[in-house]
Amino acid sequence: MDFTEHQTRSRDLPKQPMHILHVVGARPNFIKAAPVLRALAAYPVRQTLVHTGQHFDAGMSDVFFEELDLPRPNVNLGVGSGSHAVQTGRIMEQLEPVLLEQKPDRVLVYGDINSTLAAALVSAKLNLPVAHVEAGLRSGDRGMPEEINRILTDQLADLLFTPSADADANLRREGIPAGRIRRVGNVMIDTLVRLLPRAAERWPRLQEEHALQRYALVTLHRPSNVDDPQALGTLLAALGRVGRDLPLLFPVHPRTRKRLAENGLTLPPGLRLLDPQGYLDFLALQCHAAVVITDSGGIQEETTYLRVPCLTLRENTERPVTVTVGTNLLIGRDLDRLQGEVDRILSGQGKRGRRPPLWDGHAAERIAAILMDGEN
- Tell me the catalytic residues: 221
DSSP state of 275: P
Residue 228 to residue 78: CA distance in whole angstroms? 28
DSSP of 193-234: HHHHHHHHHHHHHHHHHTT-SS-EEE----HHHHTSHHHHHH
137: nearest Cα among 331, 301, 314, 370: 301
309 neighbors 291 (Cβ within 8 angstroms)? yes
Q: How far apart are CA 320 and CA 166, in angstroms?
A: 8
Distance from C-alpha of 364 to C-alpha of 246, rounded to nearest angstrom:
38
Q: Under a CB-based contact definition with an 8 Å cutoff, are residues 54 and 114 in contact?
A: yes
Query: Among candidates 141, 139, 142, 137, which has minimal Cα distance to 154?
Result: 137
Q: Is 298 helix (H, G, I), strand (E, B) or coil?
A: helix
Question: Of 168, 161, 166, 169, which is closest to residue 185 (Cα–Cα)?
Answer: 161
Backbone phi, psi, residue 116, to 5°: -60, -50
Please, is 350 exposed, middle or buried when counting C-beta atoms within 10 Å of its C-beta (0-12, 13-18, 19+)? buried
CA 47 remoteness from chain centre: 21
Q: Are 86 and 52 in contact (CB under 8 A)?
A: no
Contacts of 213 (CB under 8 A, 6+ apart): none
* H helical segments located in the chain: 3-12, 27-40, 62-67, 84-102, 114-125, 145-156, 165-173, 187-209, 223-226, 229-242, 254-262, 279-288, 297-306, 321-324, 335-346, 363-372
